[in-house]
Amino acid sequence: MLLFRRGAGGLEVLLAHPGGPYWASRHDAAWTIPKGGMHPGEGPLDTAIREFREETGFEPAPPYLPLGHIVQRSGKIVHAFAFEGDADPSVLKSEMTTTEWPPRSGRWIQVPEIDRAGFYAIDVARRLINTAQAELLDRLIQLVRQ
């Protein structure tokens, strides 16, 4: 789910930075839209709404603009939707997840799914966002300009 707002300098999008030690020092191309896996019987929009709530603590609001899907380098398919609104990134409240750290160590730690979020102008967002997800920014621009 891609939250966007119209700022004084133009369109801004909310991007999230993954939590945990693997992502701690990564910045460019590391940020993402809040997203996650579908549960059995759940459709793409329901998944996007649930995951946005779980990863940010923010409540998405219709209307939802379909952005289609992209395939990330890992092979993960991301179905995306956008909505216009606002939120205070400083009050982000993300659910925790368990990850093995260091990799293949057998040691499991709890980390937040998202450790921070922020609104970014489109030109900055293009540098920060996961490379495959940049296409979603282009699709958003096309939709809001119509």
> What architecture is domain 2-145?
Alpha-Beta Complex (3.90)
> Can you give the pLDDT at residue 145?
87
By CB neighbour count within 10 A (0-12 exposed, 13-18 middle, 19+ buried), where does 103 fall? exposed
> Can you give the pLDDT at residue 5?
97
Tokens of residue 84, six digits: 């216009």
Tokens of residue 143, six digits: 């939709």
Provide the residue type at 146 as one letter. Answer: Q
> Can you give the pLDDT at residue 8?
86
- Residue 12 pairs in a beta bridge with 5, 121
d(CA 40, CA 43): 9
> Can you give the pLDDT at residue 7?
85
Helices (H), 32-85: 44-56
Phi-psi region of 106 (alpha: psi -120 to 50; beta: other; left: phi over 0): left
Local mean pLDDT, 10-residue blocks, the chain (146 residues): 94 97 95 94 97 97 97 94 97 96 96 97 97 97 88
> Can you give the pLDDT at residue 146?
57
